[in-house]
């Protein structure tokens, strides 16, 4: 269904407005990599990067770096794990949370911005759980709505 991804982006942006510091787009990118063709994945990832880069206070590159590492980690990890296995999703969520922490810390340092390490750490830990719950909810909704989605 062609409405799923645009609706996802609108809801994810709204959720980021309600819960600042959280990234509600990353779980959708992972689900898209699991279910869709590379063209849709590239388009969704580019849309997410543009949204995140335009909305954030950091110089261009923080979101591109974070989403780029997410895609690379997913593609490499898929060679070792089944793409939809719980262990793999836990690893992806953990990796993305660490990438979130490191990219924010690095980019803020490069711009001489003062950030609270504790705040970034807490946000990264919360992001781990948000990512897991969001991926689970999105994957169930996707399977209900999209007819060709796997039932495993």
The reported pLDDT for the residue numbered 149 is 59
DSSP states of the chain:
-TTHHHHHHHHHHHHHHHSTT--SSHHHHHHHHHHS-HHHHHHHHHHHHHHHHHHSSSPTTHHHHHHHHHHHHHHHHTTTS-TT-HHHHHHHHHHHHHHHHHHHHHHHHHTT----HHHHHHHHHHHHHHHHHHHHHHHHHHHHH-TTS---
Q: What is the largest CA-CA distance in the chain?
A: 49
Token pair in block for residue 143: 């399977």
Domain chopping of the chain, boundaries: 4-145
The reported pLDDT for the residue numbered 5 is 92
User: CA-CA distance, 94 to 124, in Å (whole number)?
Assistant: 9
In this structure, of 11-15, 30-34, 49-53, 132-136, the range with the lowest mean pLDDT score is 49-53
Q: How confident is the model at residue 6 (pLDDT cuts 50, 70, 90)?
A: very high
Which tops the pLDDT comparison, 152 or 84? 84
Which tops the pLDDT comparison, 13 or 107? 13
User: CA-CA distance, 131 to 51, in Å (whole number)?
Assistant: 18
Asked if 142 and 149 count as a contact pair (C-beta separation under 8 A), the reply is yes
The reported pLDDT for the residue numbered 152 is 46
> How many percent of the chain have pLDDT more than 70?
93
Cβ neighbors of 62 (< 8 A, separation 6 or more) are 52, 53, 56, 103, 104, 107
Q: How confident is the model at residue 117 (pLDDT cuts 50, 70, 90)?
A: confident
pTM for the model stands at 0.88
Cβ neighbors of 98 (< 8 A, separation 6 or more) are 124
Which tops the pLDDT comparison, 104 or 113? 104
The reported pLDDT for the residue numbered 73 is 94
């Amino acid at each position: 269904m062609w409405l799923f991804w645009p609706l996802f982006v609108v809801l994810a942006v709204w959720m980021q407005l309600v819960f600042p510091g959280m990234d509600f787009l990353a779980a959708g990118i992972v689900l898209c990599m699991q279910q869709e063709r590379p063209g849709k994945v590239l388009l969704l990832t580019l849309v997410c990067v543009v949204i995140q880069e335009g909305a954030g206070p950091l110089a261009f590159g923080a979101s591109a770096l974070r989403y780029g590492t997410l895609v690379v980690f997913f593609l490499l990890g898929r060679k070792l794990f089944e793409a939809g296995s719980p262990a793999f999703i836990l690893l992806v969520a953990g990796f993305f949370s660490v990438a979130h922490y490191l990219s924010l810390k690095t980019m803020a340092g490069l711009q001489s911005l003062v950030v609270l390490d504790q705040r970034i750490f807490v946000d990264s830990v919360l992001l781990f759980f948000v990512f897991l719950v969001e991926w689970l909810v999105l994957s169930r909704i996707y399977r209900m709505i999209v007819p060709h989605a796997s039932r495993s």
